[in-house]
Amino acid sequence: MTVSTLPVARAPLAWAATAPRRRRPSRRPSHGGGEQNAMDEPTGPTEPTGSNRHRRWVTGRLAAGEPRVRLLCFPQAGGAAGAFSVWRPHLPAGVELAPVELPGRGTRRAEPLPDDLGALVGALLEALDDEFKRPYALFGHSFGGLVAYELALRIGQYGIAPPRAVLVSGARAPHATARAEPVHERDDAGLLEWLRGTGGMPASLLRQTGYVRSVLAAVRADLTLGVAHRRAEPLPLACPLHVFGGTADPVVPPAELQDWRAYATSAVPVTLYPGDHFYLYADPARLLADIAAVTGPGRSGFSR
């Protein structure tokens, strides 16, 4: 296990789930926590094909210089693609940031929330088909880590060019979800209390009751999908797997990140950074530099 020696920094508030347009979004995302039911059989997409639909799935794309690798990013439970906007000033040269917007939040808040993880992954597989045609990597934080892992498995089943790496952050391994607190079963007040305790709900937004309700609905839906999905045993990925986390994460403690070592056929590095569950938004420069280092040309997958 590697521990960064950077000083502890409090994560900036970067909530970017469904914030009203009249208000500048604060700088901290919502939380994603425990997750995960066996989902080995391929599930088809839930939407028709088309360029308009494809554009809905990836928003806020940014490349620093000539991109050598595309980084498809999946946020925490209830989070939107905009959560990764705080990464933009720190993007290393050669990396294309491609945040993925799931239905029911952010720019897609008018759409129904996902209610089946297999169907969601199937829709992602088709919608992101063009994204896989150049060197890419998958990054997912918390619930997004589960989505990234399951998408990588599905990619392998369909013979698509594999990612250079799957990068999982602050997430429990799919076979270990019984350890997660069932916060999705709480009422809205209880779920909100939990979000505030993890730093996932800025106080500045609490007075916007309609907004808070929509955020809680998205968080609850994602956490419910995660809890419903549990693998009896690990299925290793055919590509490299890297795991990241915060040294003081109260949601997924560092020791639990070790469970991911069974999910790849090669060694699985676990790297820790000072901070809590939202360490990745506090001081992302070191994390992004590490991501660029492990997704560079020749690391895995195909090179061009």
Q: Which residues are catalytic?
A: 142
Rounded to 5°, angle at Cα 150 from 126 and 252: 140
Is the Cβ–Cβ distance between 294 and 95 less than 8 Å?
A: no
Which residue has tokens 């530099």? 289
Class of residue 152 by CB neighbours under 10 A (exposed 0-12, middle 13-18, buried 19+): buried
Is the Cβ–Cβ distance between 279 and 251 less than 8 Å?
A: no
Q: How far is CA 225 from CA 171, 212, 219, in A?
A: 14, 20, 10
Residue among 125, 27, 10 at smallest CA distance from 84: 27
Q: Which two tokens stand for residue 198?
A: 């993890």
Distance between CA atoms of residues 21 and 216, nearest Å: 18
Q: Is 241 helix (H, G, I), strand (E, B) or coil?
A: strand
Q: Which two tokens stand for residue 148?
A: 């990234």
Residues 6+ apart with CB under 8 A from 194: 31, 181, 183, 186
Is the Cβ–Cβ distance between 212 and 192 less than 8 Å?
A: yes
Distance between CA atoms of residues 79 and 136, nearest Å: 22
Is the Cβ–Cβ distance between 219 and 31 less than 8 Å?
A: yes
- Tell me what percent of the chain is helix, strand and coil, each rounded to the nearest 5: 40, 15, 50
Which residue has tokens 């956490």? 223
